[in-house]
């Protein structure tokens, strides 16, 4: 596969990681989803998400090498995730994407992926 054919290569690994940093800056002070995160694990949570996004969009396989199969739904089952949590996650990530200026035409592709995954994470009604 040609390196430029991956979304990670087109957007840039650095920009994807900056997007995650911008997202976590918002999450840390968010009253809906911020409390779900262990207060002593912010840096690791940020690294895991950044590694996952970079991997998922065709970048280095660090996430798989360190964590194995993503098993996203299983890893998130301990947390009560409904529509409000899904919607807040999407809002904060959308703000982060705009802050770091994720370019078109990649931004809608990333947003669609995030919307599908965020909805899949729901494990309760409402």
Q: What is the residue extent of each domain of the chain?
A: 10-120
Q: What is the pLDDT of residue 28?
A: 96
CA distances from 13 to 6, 17, 22, 29, 55 (A): 11, 6, 14, 25, 10
Q: Class assignment of domain 10-120? A: mainly alpha
Q: What region, left, alpha or beta, does residue 101 occupy, with left being phi > 0 and alpha being psi -120 to 50 degrees?
A: left
- Average pLDDT per block of 10 residues along the chain, 126 residues long: 75 98 97 92 94 96 83 72 95 98 96 94 87
Q: What is the pLDDT of residue 4?
A: 55
């Amino acid at each position: 596969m040609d390196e430029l054919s991956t979304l990670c290569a087109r957007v840039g690994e650095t920009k994807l990681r900056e997007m995650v940093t911008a997202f976590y800056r918002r999450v840390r002070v968010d009253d809906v989803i911020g409390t779900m995160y262990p207060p002593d694990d912010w840096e690791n949570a940020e690294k895991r998400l950044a590694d996952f996004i970079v991997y998922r969009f065709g970048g280095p396989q660090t996430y798989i090498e360190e964590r194995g199969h993503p098993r996203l739904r299983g890893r998130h089952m301990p947390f009560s995730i409904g529509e409000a949590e899904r919607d807040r996650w999407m809002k904060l990530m959308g703000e982060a994407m705009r802050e770091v200026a994720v370019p078109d035409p990649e931004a809608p592709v990333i947003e669609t992926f995030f919307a599908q995954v965020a909805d899949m994470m729901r494990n309760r009604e409402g």
